Amino acid sequence: MNINLSRRRFGAVIAATAAVAAAPKRAIAETSSGLSPAPTGPAPTGLGDDVKTFRKAVKWGMIDIDGPPLDKFQLCQELGYDGMELISPGQPPIDELRAAVAQTGMPIHGLVNERHWQVRLSAPDQATRDAARAILEQAIRDAHAMGGFTVLLVPGVVNEEANHDQVWKRSVAEIKKVLPLASLLGVRVLIENVWNGFCETPEQLRDYLDEIDSPWVGSYYDIGNSQKFSASENWIRVLGSRIVKLDVKDWGVTAGFCKIGDGDVNWAAVREALAEINFSGWCTAEVTGGGRDELADISRRMDQVLLG
């Protein structure tokens, strides 16, 4: 693998590439979603705007207020967030989301594959793997239609149906099948490190990504999830430029999953490691949400741990 190819630099131009190519892709987007790619509006100013290091986002399911999508976009914008991450399937009507993006200028930077735990790329039977791949392909199309450029994926689960080697081989084979679509639509598939028994060391995850060996696949690194196994800053250094986006949360031996900043993550060391790999990009909270007060507190905590 050519490690000199910076996946992160590649990711920085994907949104622009997708926008330029939007017209010939219209038929594909309309086939799946009835819509062409969403406008992303003006670039967000963002957390750390002096050097444009971080873009702060929130998961859609964390926003616990009544009202249409526009109300949620406006609240999060007011609280200092730069963008949103949606889900697929199960997102609100895409036309309403596109309208909210256009009115606020807050982009939908990506989607989470909402069914990857239930319908797995690592399943023992090919029929289930085919179904899982179809769900992933639809998420890629949905991300494109909303103006996003990534889909978060959990590639499988180590359990009685699949050992570590089987999850590895089966998921790699299925992910490679979606790469033509991903490259055509300008959407990257990002692997999240989770508590699924798979790739529980940074070296394993690094090697897994390198076996796929595609600039259309990278790491959606979850800072809190890895803390259970070893120091988060070590994961960052090992994964390096494979990291495209960050999930921001905290975890501690005593606290478990907790408010950002209240766990065992050494945030000063995390900031140092992120600087060493020259990370810049989207940082999305993945914690218990709520209404205005809770979301404001999360925004403040993200500022504290990411900026120091």
Domains of the chain, first to last: 7-307 (3.20.20.150)
Span 11-69, pLDDT tens digits: 444 443 333 333 333 333 333 333 444 443 334 444 544 445 899 999 999 999 999 99
> From residue 165, how far is each of 162, 172, 235, 293 by CA, in Å?
8, 11, 21, 45
Cα–Cα distance measured from residue 185 to residue 143, given in angstroms and rounded to the nearest whole number = 9
240: left (phi over 0), alpha (psi -120 to 50) or beta: left
Measured CA angle at 286 (ends 283, 289), to 5 deg? 120
Q: What pLDDT does residue 47 have? A: 52
Q: What pLDDT does residue 116 have? A: 96
130-152 burial by CB neighbour count: b if 16+ within 10 A, else e? ebbbebbbbbbbbbbbbbbbbbb
Q: What pLDDT does residue 36 have? A: 42
Mean of pLDDT values over 247-268: 97
What's the start-to-end Cα distance of the chain, in Å? 35
Cα–Cα distance measured from residue 45 to residue 72, given in angstroms and rounded to the nearest whole number = 19
Q: What is the dihedral angle through the alpha carbons of 208, 210, 212, 217, rounded to the nearest 10 degrees?
A: 100
User: Does 155 score more than 60 pLDDT?
Assistant: yes
Which residues, other chains included, contact 240 with Cβ-Cβ below 8 Å and sequence gap of 6+? 277
Span 269-292, pLDDT tens digits: 999 999 999 999 999 999 999 999
Mean of pLDDT values over 130-136: 98
In the chain, how many H helices and how many E strands? 11, 10
Span 69-100, pLDDT tens digits: 999 999 999 999 999 999 999 989 999 999 99
Span 97-114, pLDDT tens digits: 999 999 999 999 999 999
Residue 251 DSSP SS3? strand
Predicted model pTM:
0.86
Read off φ and ψ for residue 196, nearest 5 degrees.
-115, 10
